[in-house]
């Protein structure tokens, strides 16, 4: 394993552990999402958004001195979580007040809008951070807050959808989580009205499926050629 891959794992594994714990809790207690708006917001943030923090949290780690890394990463995570917990509570309130049909229209319009692309583009921004003193703490916290604001602008409309169908909210959450992760793989684009989705992820899946089918075809041809080459007795 290369040093770069090792550094990525040092960030990704804790986030994946938090994400997995949230999903296990939701599976064990599916009604927890409806018992408390604060609990629902925390669980939604942990389950859906924690994995999307990886690249930005790694940026904070790389920009910080070794002795300050945990402190800086903690400051970033606090800022990021505060915004998303508040956003989750607002989404829960919106889901109670907006009719499902109207919410779907609004989500579709936002998903196609230039504003959505601007927010998504800003999610890729990784500003320089101070290395010393209070300035370093403030920069990490501010980065967490601002990054979460752009992230909420990009993702929160889609995150409203699982709240509209309580009986299937876990399946909808999983689908939206994969969609949002796929969107983050796409490079920044000019803001404009367009149908927008995780195109790069779809291309990767299609490429992997094509490669898989080619391998199956090659194995079948090899097996057929081998059987024909055997002498008959």
231 and 169 within one domain: no
130 and 157 within one domain: yes
216 and 148 within one domain: no
pLDDT(209) > 70: no
Number of structural domains in the chain: 2
Which has more pLDDT, 144 or 219?
A: 144
* Entry pTM: 0.84
Q: What whole-number distance in Å separates Cα of residue 227 and Cα of residue 49?
A: 52
180 and 127 within one domain: yes
Q: What is the pLDDT of residue 46?
A: 94
Taking CA 153 as the corner, what is the angle to CA 147 and CA 185, rounded to the nearest 5 degrees?
Answer: 70
Strand, helix or coil for residue 195: coil
228 and 167 within one domain: no
DSSP type of residue 29: -
Q: What is the pLDDT of residue 207?
A: 60
56 and 116 within one domain: yes
Residue 85: domain span: 3-196
Q: What is the pLDDT of residue 5?
A: 83
The per-residue pLDDT for range 140-159, each reduced to its tens digit, is: 999 999 999 999 999 999 99
Q: What whole-number distance in Å separates Cα of residue 76 and Cα of residue 80?
A: 6
Average pLDDT for residues 197-209, to the nearest whole number?
Answer: 62
57 and 77 within one domain: yes
25 and 12 within one domain: yes
192 and 202 within one domain: no
Q: What is the pLDDT of residue 54?
A: 94
The per-residue pLDDT for range 183-193, each reduced to its tens digit, is: 998 889 999 99
Question: 175-187: b or e for each residue (b if 16 or more CB lie within 10 Å)?
Answer: ebbebbebbbebe
207 and 103 within one domain: no
100 and 58 within one domain: yes
The per-residue pLDDT for range 56-105, each reduced to its tens digit, is: 999 999 999 999 999 999 999 999 999 999 999 999 999 999 999 999 99
185 and 99 within one domain: yes
């Amino acid at each position: 394993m290369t040093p770069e891959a090792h550094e990525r794992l040092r960030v990704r594994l804790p986030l994946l552990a938090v994400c997995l714990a949230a999903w296990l809790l939701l599976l064990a207690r599916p009604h927890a999402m409806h018992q408390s708006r604060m609990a629902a917001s925390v669980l939604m943030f942990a389950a859906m958004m924690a994995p999307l923090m990886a690249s930005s949290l790694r940026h904070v780690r790389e920009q910080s001195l070794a002795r300050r890394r945990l402190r800086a990463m903690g400051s970033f995570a606090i800022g990021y979580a505060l915004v998303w917990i508040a956003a989750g509570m607002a989404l829960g309130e919106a889901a109670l007040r907006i009719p499902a049909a109207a919410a779907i229209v609004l989500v579709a319009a936002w998903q196609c809008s230039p504003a959505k692309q601007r927010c998504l583009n800003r999610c890729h921004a990784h500003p320089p951070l101070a290395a010393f003193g209070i300035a370093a703490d403030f920069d990490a916290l501010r980065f967490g807050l601002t990054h979460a604001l752009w992230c909420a602008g990009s993702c929160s409309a889609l995150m409203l959808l699982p709240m509209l169908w309580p009986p299937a909210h876990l399946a909808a959450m999983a689908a939206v989580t994969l969609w949002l992760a796929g969107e983050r793989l796409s490079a920044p684009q000019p803001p404009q009205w367009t149908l927008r989705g995780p195109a790069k992820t779809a291309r990767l899946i299609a490429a992997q499926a094509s490669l898989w089918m080619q391998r199956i075809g090659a194995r079948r041809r090899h097996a057929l050629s081998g059987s024909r080459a055997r002498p008959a007795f």
